[in-house]
Structures are given as structure tokens and as C-alpha cells.
Amino acid sequence: MAVCTVYTIPTTTHLGGSFNQNKQVFFNYKRSSSFPSSNNILTSVSRPYVITCSAGESQTIVIGLAADSGCGKSTFMRRLTSVFGGAAEPPKGGNPDSNTLISDTTTVICLDDFHSLDRTGRKEKGVTALDPRANDFDLMYEQVKALKEGKPVDKPIYNHVSGLLDPPELIQPPKILVIEGLHPMYDARVRELLDFSIYLDISNEVKFAWKIQRDMKERGHSLESIKASIEARKPDFDAYIDPQKQYADVVIEVLPTQLIPDDDEGKVLRVKMIQKEGVKYFNPVYLFDEGSTISWIPCGRKLTCSYPGIKFSYGPDTFYDNEVTVVEMDGQFDRLDELIYVESHLSNLSTKFYGEVTQQMLKHQDFPGSNNGTGFFQTIIGLKIRDLFEQIVANRSAAPAAAAKA
């Protein structure tokens, strides 16, 4: 069903031009002979109307995911797109170095593509990719806005292999657009376009370990260059990236464990899912009793736990002066098939059937973080985004019917 707006007009009014081709008209009417056929002018018994309609189901919903480089955005995107079905792949027949991933329902674009300076240009000007001066926020806003409105765009490509800006690629508006990168919530104009936002907040200790693993294995960087990059980026990260988490609807915070005293290996993680209260179409997940403060050690007959075990916590808190609900997991799972025991004690998961979180975790058990809170909470947020999408679509589809009854 389309979403329609009805305007009554005087019979003498003439409207020049025609509606955008993305508009659709649904109405039982006879056309007035006093108006040209190119105009969407509809008449009832006594008065003419102009009705503008847009397909509510197809209007793009925009999700923002912010994090520093090497903090798990790519893994999160794979989990998210899997929830909606279909494999996420680069545009067929396009640039093999494209950063875009397209599936049946989602399109993921990397905001690195909006760098205004290539690698050489940043070096010459003495700025990092985190610096707003190295990014084209005007173009970012214009293209995200266009896609949200159902219009295709020729999006630039930043080539991570060569460090150059490649020729643009055509992006068609999807049902769900995910913009992921360093700055999805930095520019207020872009921030206003987001229907939901997530920030991955990785502690310095964990970030260093992850970045070494990714950049050495996948991108061929040396340990020395990784260390130098982290140190060079830190001032800009603190100034331009980290403050964005205050705007996020959900923050997934990854910290060293508290279960092992003086742990310096970083293999066991403590992960918090910080959920903002009062977000439209989003009901925070809770453990046992909503609004209570709870500490739970589930290890025992129903959940196998090796050293140092697992501990869950839940309760209300404040985050940047916002009321939030926090679910925390410290430790890691030994057997993912037993995860359903934990899942059964959580509420507001937005699952479609009992055990869906566990099923998704088992489906991607080879993904990084599948044995700890990073993968667990990313999977849950993926299901919550699916629910948010379905609520928005249902609400838009119901609007014309409600208007007709009024």
C-alpha cells in the first residue's frame, strides 16, 4: 500500500508540471476535463483533490554504524545482512575493489568512499582519514539523502589497496541502507537522516589486538606500521570519532575481562550493550526482570563454562545524560548450542521464534566474536533492526488507511 497525502484545492487552481516519477496515485475518480491529463488532479462529486503517494514499503530506511578502523564493523555487517537473508556481495560487474556490499534487502556503503583526499593527499596535507578536512560531508549528505528518498546515486570509491579515489559506481536505493565508517554521526545533517544508529566502542587494549590481527593478516601491514598508525590516529579519534557515541541509539562497548585479575592477554572480553531509552520502534533488551539490577552467573548444569566462567549483569544507568538500559556479558561460551539457555532468560529480543538468536550464532560460529558478547550482542541488535524495519514499514503502510478513516 502506498503512503498518500491528499490536498483539496479550489476548482480554478492550475498545477503546472507533473509529479516525480517515483510517486504513485491511487484513488477512485473521474478526471476533470478542465485540467490537462499530465496533472494528477482527481475529482470527487463536489471538489477536486491532488493526491501524492510514495510507496511506503520501498522508502529506504537508513542505519548508521560508527567505529574506528579495525573495530569489527565488517563482521557486524555480515551478521546484520544475514538476518535479512541473501548473501552480501560487491556490485556485480563493478570495481573489484568496491567497498559496497549488496544483498536482497540491504546495501552497505563504506563512508571511506567520501574521502576528499587520497592517501597521498592526506600525507601531503598532514591529516589523517579521521580528520573532517579529509572527507566530503556535503556529498555524503546529498547522496545519503537521495538514496533515502529513493533516488540512485553515482557514489565515489576509495580504493583501500591503492589509496586512490577510483571512478564512481551506481548505487540503487535499497530497502535498508547501512552507512558504516568513521563519521556516520559526525555531521548533524547526516545524523538527522538516520532511522537508527550504533556505535562500536572498543577499548584501546582490545582495539590494538584486533587491528594487528586484521591489518597484518588481511592488508599486509607490518607491526611497526600498525603501532605508528594507532599513535598517529589517537588525537583525531578522541576529537572526531569517539564523541559520536553520545548520539548512538545503541553502544556496544568492548573491554578487558574483570574475571581474570591483571589480565593482559585480551582473549577474554567484557562486553556491554548500552541501549538508549525512548527510541521510537526500539524496546531495550532486558534480563529476567525489566528495570531491576541483576548479576547472574549462569554456569552449571545447563551451560558449560571453562575458566574463568561467564557473568551477566543488567540494570538501568545514564550515558551522556541519557537514560539507558545496560546488559553486560563477561567471559565466553564453550558450546554455542547451549546459548539457548541464556537466550531464554532475555526479553525483548525481537525474535520470530524460540531460539533464533542461538540459530544465528551457530550459523556464523566461524565469525570473530562468536564465543563472546561481541557476536552475541551484534546478533541481537541485528534482530532488533529487522524488527525496527518491519515496524516502520507497517506504520507507513497503515497511514493511508488511518487517514481515510479520519
Q: Are 379 and 255 in a shared domain?
A: yes
**In this structure, is residue 226 part of a structural domain?**
no
pLDDT at residue 48, rounded to an integer? 45
Same domain, 163 and 262: no
> Mean pLDDT of residues grouped by 10 in the chain (406 residues)?
43 40 40 39 42 55 91 86 84 90 93 96 94 97 97 96 95 96 97 98 83 71 81 91 97 94 81 97 96 93 89 97 97 93 96 96 92 95 96 86 70
Of 165, 199, 233, which marks where a domain is finished? 199
pLDDT of residue 58: 62
Range of the structural domain that residue 321 is part of: 249-389
Within-domain flag for 299 = yes
116 domain-assigned: yes
Instruction: Let me know: does 151 contact 173? Beta carbons within 8 Å.
Output: yes
For residues 330 and 258, state if they share a domain.
Answer: yes
User: 177 and 284 in one domain?
Assistant: no
Query: Is residue 243 assigned to a domain?
Result: no
Tally of CA atoms within 13 A in the half-sphere of 144 that contains its CB: 32
Give the CATH number, domain containing residue 82: 3.40.50.300
Asked if residue 305 and residue 179 are part of one domain, the reply reads no
Q: Kindly state whether residues 263 and 152 are assigned to the same domain.
A: no
Residue 149's pLDDT is what? 96
- State how many domains the chain has: 2
> Residue 212 falls within a domain, yes or no?
no
Domain assignment present for residue 22? The answer is no
Same-domain status, 189 and 258: no
Query: Is residue 229 included in any domain, yes or no?
Result: no
Whether pTM > 0.85 for this model: the answer is no
Q: 47-81: string of b/e by CB count within 10 Å (b at 16+)?
A: ebebbbbbebeebbbbbbbbbbbbbbbbbbbbbbb
pLDDT in tens, 92-141: 888 999 999 999 899 999 999 999 999 999 999 999 999 999 999 999 99
Residue 61 sits in the same domain as residue 194: yes
161 and 271 in a single domain? The answer is no
- Note whether 258 and 342 are same-domain residues: yes
The pLDDT of residue 13: 37
Does 37 reside within a domain?
no
User: Do 61 and 195 share a domain, yes or no?
Assistant: yes
Check residue 264 and give its pLDDT. 67
| 39, 18 Cβ separation under 8 angstroms | yes
257 in the same domain as 318: yes
